Amino acid sequence: MDNTSLKAKPPLGGYRKTFGDTTLQEMTGLAIIAIATSNGGAVKVPGRDHNQLAVSANDPLDAPAPGTSNVIHQDQIAIRLLSLRQDLILAVFTAQNNRNAIEALRNKFGRTIPITDQSDAWVVLGLSGPLSESALERICSIDLHQDVFANGDLAQTRMEHISTILFRSGDEAFQIFAPRSYARSFLHAVETSIHNVR
Amino acid sequence: MRGYEGDTLASALLANGERLIARSFKTHRPRGIFSAGSEEPNALVQLRRSAFTEPNTRATTTQLYNGLAASSQHHRGSLKYDLMAFMDLVSPLLSAGFYYKTFMWPKSFWESVYEPLIRAAAGLGRLSGAADPGLYDKGFLHCDILIIGAGPAGLAAALAAGRSGARVILADEDFSMGGRLNRDRYEIDGARAANWTAAALAELQSMDHVRLAPRTTVWGAFDHGIYGAVECVTDHLPAMPAKPINQDRDEDHDHDRDRDRSPSKTCKPRQILWRIYAQRTILCAGASERPIAFGNNDRPGIMLAGAVRSYVNRWGVAPGKHFAIFTNNDDGWRTAADLANRGVKVRAIIDSRDIAPPHSTGDAEIIMGGRIIDTKGRSGLRAITLANGQQIETDCLAVSGGWNPNVHLTCHHGSRPLWRDDICAFVPAPPLPAHTPARMVLAGAANGALTLYAALQQGHTAGAQQAQELGFTPTSSTAPRAQDEPAATSPFWHVTQSTKRAWLDLQNDVTVKDIALAYKEGYRSVEHVKRYTTLSMGTDQGKTANIPALAVLAKLAGTSIRDIGTTMYRPPFTPVTIGAFAGRARGTNFRPHCLPPSHDWARAQGAVFTQTGLWQRAQYYPRPGESHWRQTVDREVLQTRNSVGICDVSTLGKIDIQGDDAAQFINHIYCNAFGKLKIGKTRYGLMLREDGMVMDDGTTARLAQTHFIMTTTTANAAAVYRHLEFCRQCLWPDLSVHLTPVTEQWAQYAIAGPKARTLLQKIVDPAFELSNDAFPFMACAEITICGGITARLFRISFSGELAYELAAPARYGDALIRTLMSAGKDDGAAPYGTEALNVMRIEKGHAAGNELNGQTTAHNLGMGQMVSKKKDAIGIVLSRREELCRADALRLSGFIPKDRAQQLQAGAHFIAKGQEASTQQDQGWMSSTAYSPTLGHSIGLGFIRAGADRHGETVSAVDLLRGRSIDVEIVSPHFLDPQGERLHG
């Protein structure tokens, strides 16, 4: 059978909705790659003490500190690295250059680095606009004040019993990663929150 | 009835001349409005109608709105002519602890007579009996400084902290912030207190980092600076929600239908339960006035003196025409002064103290050292009688027995307040006692600073200090200037000359005599007295009753209030609606749902769903003409066994394991050997807990030298991953291994049946060879399907058939099930659900959740030989315990009914034939049963002693719960294809 018989389907079918100036939309077309950066020797970077945490500025991995992110450009591909913990980074980039980007990641971090494609494991909701922070206040226990949770910061947290990753992409903009199978429950939770604060 | 914006229901009722508001709990005595705040014990009403109704709501805190519906409660007939008023006549029978002494006989009357009568008489208001249609929500707030109470101290603290730049939340239960500044006529910074309050609130409102939270009651102090608060958001608004969006959602979370139900057409939550995370807390909760106990002190028209000031000054309502004051302190005189200033006639001021009058107040008669011993007026106060026999006609008696600092929140971690003689009240005197919530300080009346300037100063100092300690630059501003008013008080609690009933707890009808009786009967501890008499156990939690009752008890015991101590104050500070605790988690939104990739397709097929954990899985797929689930399941099984069946198994846990030491890691996890598993091969693995019991099972495939994919049962997916991470991080941190849960990443379908290969050949790209030789049983491979789409194929079988599990990225899950069904159409492919899956695994003798229940060993499961003797792995050592390996230990066995027409039932216990069904005779239990359409009769799996050696023996399967006993034959657990010819086909 040819490949036209298998059509990719985003978890929420490409949902997008505006609530006044606030927008909630499913972010599709993202590649999400889990990278094991350091784990008791899991990544054997030559010349590097693999028991050291990959957080210092001089780290050969250029890994951001846990809870923060940065954007690297490798082989002309912009890749955002979300550091979830000391040994795990999510690399997020547009999926058009998926294979090139994965190759770029290998070029960047080494051929033996354990990477795992997670692109289908998450639904990503983009929430932006003036209501975004107050809406999240209803379901997210993280302190979202910008002095505490600045642009580029991220946190793994639970919202409405769902394990999520919250990433601040702008002053009034967030990206929230939730497990794909929870997509509809999670969308409902966020929609309800926006409604409740409008 | 008419009212004004800013009125409470209580102020509006008083303004409209309503004095009789309620009936008392036990004796159905007429009751009026007693206070002006959340401490109200009397004026409880039924708010709203139909399903929105809310009983036992305090009229004193209910903000008036146009169309508000409120009714009196707890009476038969009209409020004025309550048929239950006869209870007052029999009140001598209703003394403290009467329910412990009566209703004893005859025994048969308890359930048939007494209980129905008591239930009918009790309960104050009524629930609607319908589900609460109100909306509720929850939320999380963070701040540097949480200030509880927006009276003078709270406002001063908020200004000082806010001006320093700290993030402040200022919460107050009232809808109008200001606390006693709303009630009293003060001057602050040379301006009227009301103007100063308005300016302060405006300044705070202008600060981005300050959040004003009116109508927000902080009701509990919890660990680590976390506070519970309820914000009443829409309770004061006329419109009620028509149809909440977050209830009655489609069971399957039909997203499209949700979208049609536009949220904009519905209303907002009525209340929000906030969890507030505060680095510092300043408790400025003020103080509550307490009454004095004297004969018949419960009549409508007898009020707290401060409440009278509130109604007069804040709401412009005179609660009577002819006032009298009864006080033991200076504050009562201020009520007299304010009334006089408003031109309201005060007939008498009775001060229990034998001192010179502290004020001169108009033409009121001043009686120093006076005592009220009785009152008159059935449904409203008409007159009071003094100890000297003097009678004074009055329709409103303002009583002040002093003020209690509201220290409740300081006690939520177990601390007890300390007594201060100078103010005759309990305070958490500095240094704060142990068990006070961490990083909490107090200011103002809550801290015993009962005068205005002291409160402002303490608030300002606390706000500035807390901000400074958090690293903010302290404000250069000083505390607002004001005068300290006279506030002398005296320890006078009870008019002992009074022979009439003197109420201490108005809500629970607890009198001085009740406390005396409890003491006489041997109750000494204040906690015991509380429970015996029901003192302070109502919705007001005894805020006005506690201290006078403690004083009475102390006097009886010949000791002091200080030594008697208080009862323990626990959350909540004021009642919290149960709905607020539930929030939006109701009905189908009680918890989230996980939908597997085939969900939409399955719904379109009319599948019936079942919940497995959080997953909504297709249980079976009924077809037209199938009227019973068994028909459907039998068909699905037979179609699979005879042709090919497809089942969504994406819910099984999947863990990606990578690293140089991945094989070694897995070898330590499973009790059977894994170190030498070849690339491209899959192996069944048994995982033990440390205690040797089976934890989980599954297959693990080796995709590359350093790359494995482990599957777990659906139920244990998270637990196994957590276990693996613990092992990786804590037990073997030196191993080079990394774990990634990938359950969500892959849509995985089981394709089972003799035509499974035929079907797959239409899907898998031609470059991949599917023959038995090229891809034998337990093989695995990364392949491509449908023209280049990356997939993984595992030749594993839960059904016992020639079977595969095909995994593709989840985005293709929906398309893949459609494609598989389309490709298998000519071969009679059928989808099957969890029921058929279960039937087939029982037919094959595979253990599942019922067998892996945490109490069984590998030996019990007949897999003892799998436990490696050549390596160490978690649980191996303890699995070798002698008792667990006995020859006559429980063994997984098959069971068939001797009478094939009979149905087996899980839960039955095995008893030797002819023996009594007792625990001593118990030989094991039936764990799983099913009707096998393949065999044509019921079959079961179960555990029975030495089962492997007893095939052919007959025992009784006794089900005492259902009252059944069936003779069953012990057989091999492998009912079907014990040699495995099908799955190797």
Q: Residue B758 — φ and ψ, nearest 5°? A: -60, -45
pLDDT over 60 (residue B259): no
State yes or no: pLDDT of A42 exceeds 90: no
The secondary structure of B102-163 as a DSSP string is SS-SSTTHIIIIIHHHHHHH-SSS---SS-----EEEEEEEEEEEEE--SHHHHHHHHHHHH
Q: Tell me, yes or no, whether A107 and A45 share the same domain.
A: yes
Residue of B nearest to A145 (CA): B142
N- to C-terminal Cα separation, chain B: 85
- The predicted-structure confidence for B395-423, as pLDDT tens digits, reads as follows 999 999 999 999 999 999 988 899 999 99
Q: Which helix (H) or strand (E) holds B242?
A: none
pLDDT for the residue numbered A50: 42
Q: What is the pLDDT of residue A43?
A: 41
Distance to chain B for A181, nearest Cα, Å: 5
Say whether both B156 and B197 belong to one domain.
yes
Same domain membership, residue B660 and residue B615: no
- Position B361 scores a pLDDT of 73
CATH number at residue A65: 3.30.70.1400
Higher pLDDT among residues A54 and B150, named by residue: B150
Amino acid A55: pLDDT: 38
Considering A68, A98, A117, which residue would you say is the last residue of a domain?
A117
Question: How far apart, in whole angstroms, are the C-alpha atoms of residue B768 and residue B752?
Answer: 19
B607 and B620 both lie in a single domain:
yes
Identify the bridge partners of residue A69 per DSSP, sorted by sequence position.
Answer: A82
pLDDT exceeds cutoff 90 at B742:
yes
User: In this model, does residue B239 exceed pLDDT 70?
Assistant: no
Contacts with A5 from chain B: Cβ below 8 Å: 786, 815, 819, 822
What pLDDT does B7 receive? 97
Contact B518, B100 (CB under 8 A): no
In a domain, B544, yes or no: no
Look at residue A1 in the predicted model and tell me its pLDDT.
54
A196 to B785: CB separation less than 8 angstroms, yes or no: no
Quote the percentage of chain A above a pLDDT of 90: 65
pLDDT(A58) > 60: no
Task: Say if B978 falls within a structural domain.
Answer: yes
Query: What pLDDT is recorded for position B562?
Result: 93
Q: Does B740 contact A119 at a Cβ distance shorter than 8 Å?
A: no
Same domain, B26 and B16: yes
The fraction of chain B above a pLDDT of 90, given in percent, is: 87
Residue that is last in its domain, among A117, A137, A171: A117
Rounded mean pLDDT, A123-147: 97
Closest partner residue to A192 (CB to CB) among B245, B734, B735 is B245
pLDDT of A62 reads: 65
pLDDT value of residue A48: 44
Give the nearest chain A residue to B659 (CA atoms). A42
Query: By the CB < 8 Å criterion, does A133 face chain B?
Result: no
Task: CATH number of the domain at B635, please.
Answer: 3.30.1360.120
- How far is residue B645's CA from residue B780's CA, in Å, rounded to a whole number? 20
Q: Which two tokens stand for residue B298?
A: 């419960």
Q: Whats the size of chain A, residue-wise? A: 198
Average pLDDT estimate for B912-917: 95
The answer, yes or no, to whether residue A46 has pLDDT greater than 60, is: no
Q: Which of B379, B400, B421 is the last residue of a domain?
A: B400
In this prediction, residue B260 carries a pLDDT of 35
Residues A67 and A124 occupy one common structural domain = no
Residue B478 covered by a domain: no
Instruction: Tell whether A124 and A156 lie within a shared domain.
Output: yes
| A25 contacts on B by Cβ (under 8 Å) | none
**pTM across the whole model:** 0.92
Please tell me whether residues B358 and B424 are part of one structural domain: no
**Mutation for testing the B interface, residue in A24, A84, A106, A196 having most B CBs under 10 Å:** A196
- The residue out of B121, B150, B167 marking a domain boundary is B121
Same domain, residue pair A36 and A112: yes
Q: Do B815 and A119 touch (CB under 8 A)?
A: no
Same domain, B368 and B315: yes
- Report whether pLDDT(B248) > 50: no
Q: How many independent structural domains does chain B possess?
A: 7
Which of B273, B286, B275, B283 has the alpha carbon at shortest distance from B143? B275
**pLDDT recorded at residue A49:** 46
So what's the pLDDT on residue B161? 98
Rounded-to-integer distance, Cα B835 and Cα B446, Å: 63
- Tens of pLDDT, residue by residue over B324-361, are 999 999 999 999 999 999 999 899 999 999 999 988 77
Contact: B786, A122; criterion CB under 8 Å: no
Longest dimension (CA), chain A: 55
B99 and B78 in a single domain? The answer is yes
Co-location of B178 and B198 in the same domain: yes
Q: Are residues B155 and B95 in the same domain?
A: no
List, in sequence order, the alpha helices (H) in A14-92: none
Residues above pLDDT 70, as percent of chain B? 97
Residue B630 to residue B331: CA distance in whole angstroms: 79
Global ipTM: 0.92
User: Which chain B residues are Cβ-neighbours of A138 within 8 angstroms?
Assistant: 137-140, 272
B169 and B104 together in one domain? no
For residue B699, is it within any domain? Answer: yes
Task: Give the per-residue pLDDT at B786.
Answer: 95
Are B608 and B706 in the same domain?
Answer: no
What secondary structure does DSSP assign to B184-207, as a single string? S--EETTEEHHHHHHHHHHHHHT-
Same domain? For A86 and A55 the reply is yes
Judgement on whether residues B707 and B763 belong to the same structural domain of the protein: no
Examine the fold and report which residue of B422, B451, B469 is the final residue of a domain before the chain moves on: B469
Shortest Cα distance from A71 to chain B (angstroms)?
23
Find chain A residues with C-beta within 8 A of B816's C-beta: 6
Q: pLDDT at position A56, please?
A: 35
Closest to B398 measured CA to CA, from B350, B446, B352, B365 = B350
Domain contains B561: no
Q: Are residues A35 and A112 in the same domain?
A: yes
Q: Domain with A191 in it: what CATH number?
A: 3.30.1360.120
pLDDT tens for B466-524 read 999 999 998 889 999 999 999 999 999 999 999 999 999 999 999 999 999 999 999 99
Q: Domain of A128?
A: 3-28+120-197
Percent of chain A with pLDDT over 70: 84
Q: Could you list the residue range(s) of the whole structural domain that residue B392 is in?
A: 300-400
Domain end residue (candidates: A82, A97, A117): A117
The mean of the pLDDT values for chain B is: 93
